[in-house]
Amino acid sequence: MAITNSELIKGYFRAIVQGERKGPPLALTGGPCALAKVMKYNEMLYYAILEDDLVGAGRKFPEQVVILERQTLARTFEYLNEITRIFLKNKLRFFAMKTFRSYAYVDGDIDLVLVDRKPKARYLKALVDAGFREKWNISTIRESKKRFYVKEDENNQIALPVIHVHFTVSWNGIDCLNALDVWNRLRTITINGNSIQVPSIEDELLIAAAHTLYENTYITVGELLHIKTLLAGKKDLDMEYMVKMSKRYNWYHSLKFYFKCLEASFVSLTGQELLSKDFKNKFQMEGFTRKTVRCDIIPFFMATRPLIPLYIEKALRDLGSLRLTRLPRELITFCLVIWLYRHKKIAKFKEAFLQ
């Protein structure tokens, strides 16, 4: 009996998350192009390309895919070094979020968060001085605190990555953390010889949760691998801080649901548990029975029914906290944007994963 695409891909992802090293599967319907799509959707493409190089003989991704990933990675450090130089010169504070992972990873954008609220014009002028130009995006209508900046290559095509400039730590207009709080807890990591300041591990977990809850509504294999690695390297996790920050921004119950989804996804993929007993006790996760994720495709999509009351709770609590300016954006996101995006992504991922 032939092995299906989904079985091959799940087996490969399971090996990655469990720390085994083997080359990506090639015997897929659709061949290397199909494999590249599934890896990209799960934020594992560059990792798989490097594994492909190590394992060798005959295991090839499409050449253009490999070239684009490597060019994007090189430009990521080039752009970030230039932005850092010019921001420091102008005494402007910022940090990158979601752009770097604890494994070999290439993103199509650099998410920059501006720490100082007042001199927005100075930040944006500094980006222009560094050779970037603003690119209008339709999402700016609902995300008024976000801008997009790009550079072109010699063919006047956008040269990835795109710079996403955030005036707040938010997704789809949903504020989740305070930028200054994150700034005060930054840590330094080294990637390819580059020293980069990134959020603390606690803030990384909160950012991953908020991004999943309020934009993606799915959990990728890359996310599982990243969080597994972060937790393994942090023995004194400040869970109290995570509870405090999520309660301050009225999404504590949503955060708990995210961790339930994270655990369910990891168990579905590996048969093992991800989160410690202390972690589960802190976030009241023991004994949950409601379906949290759908497991027929990977990435793992959060179940729809539990999300709806959580979104309603977030909006009502923000209303009760007199965060009135946020409410119109939240309603547009919770009633329309998330579900349209989700429907589109499910159809796209199904086509790649189940063909």
User: pLDDT tens across 60-79, in order?
Assistant: 788 899 999 999 999 999 99
Q: So what's the pLDDT on residue 255?
A: 97
pLDDT in tens, 234-287: 889 999 999 999 999 999 999 999 999 999 999 999 999 999 999 999 998 875
Smallest CA-to-CA distance from 257 within 320, 214, 201 is with 214
Q: What is the mean pLDDT of residues 152-180?
A: 91
Query: How many whole angstroms separate alpha carbon 174 and alpha carbon 5?
Result: 36
pLDDT in tens, 204-233: 999 999 999 999 999 999 999 999 999 997
State which of 199, 225, 259 marks the end of a domain: 199
163 and 135 within one domain:
yes
Query: How many whole angstroms separate alpha carbon 159 and alpha carbon 209?
Result: 29
State which of 199, 226, 241 marks the end of a domain: 199
211 and 351 within one domain:
yes
HSE value, Cβ hemisphere, 13 Å, CA-based, for 89? 11
State which of 167, 199, 231 marks the end of a domain: 199
Domain of 98: which CATH number?
Answer: 3.30.460
295 and 155 within one domain:
no
Residue 49 has pLDDT above 70, yes or no: yes
Tokens of 249: 């921004």
Average pLDDT for the chain: 89
123 and 87 within one domain:
yes
Highest mean pLDDT among 54-58, 147-151, 293-297, 322-326: 147-151
Asked which of 5-19, 95-109, 259-273 is least confident by mean pLDDT, the reply is 5-19
Higher local confidence (pLDDT), 320 or 240: 240
CA end-to-end span of the chain: 17
330 and 223 within one domain:
yes
**Percent of the chain residues past pLDDT 90, beyond the cut:** 60
**Percent of the chain residues past pLDDT 70, beyond the cut:** 93
Residue 100 has pLDDT above 90, yes or no: yes
Residue 106 has pLDDT above 90, yes or no: yes
Q: So what's the pLDDT on residue 74?
A: 94
Pairing of strands 109-114, 169-171: unpaired
205 and 195 within one domain:
no
Residue 133 has pLDDT above 80, yes or no: yes
Query: Residue 34's pLDDT band (boundaries 50, 70, 90)?
Result: confident
Smallest CA-to-CA distance from 165 within 214, 130, 189 is with 130
Cβ neighbours of 155 (radius 10 Å): 6
State the total domains in the chain.
3
Asked which of 41-45, 63-67, 198-202 is least confident by mean pLDDT, the reply is 63-67
Burial 228-266 (b: 16+ CB within 10 A, else e): bebbeeeeebeeeebeebbeebbbbbbbbbbbbbbbbbb
144 and 75 within one domain:
yes
Query: Residue 1's pLDDT band (boundaries 50, 70, 90)?
Result: very low
Residue 197 has pLDDT above 80, yes or no: yes
Residue with tokens 């910022």: 94
Q: What is the CA radius of gyration of the chain?
A: 20
DSSP β-bridge partners for residue 187: 198
241 and 125 within one domain:
no
- Give 180-191 as a DSSP string: HHHHTT-EEEEE
Domain residue limits at 51: 1-61
57 and 19 within one domain:
yes
Residue 115 has pLDDT above 90, yes or no: yes
Higher local confidence (pLDDT), 295 or 140: 295
297 and 213 within one domain:
yes
Percent of the chain as helix, strand, coil, to the nearest 5: 55, 15, 30
Query: Residue 290's pLDDT band (boundaries 50, 70, 90)?
Result: low
137 and 7 within one domain:
no
322 and 302 within one domain:
yes
Burial 74-105 (b: 16+ CB within 10 A, else e): ebbeebbebbbebbeeeebbbbbbbbbbbbbb
Residue with tokens 């290397």: 32
Query: How many whole angstroms separate alpha carbon 281 and alpha carbon 152?
Result: 50
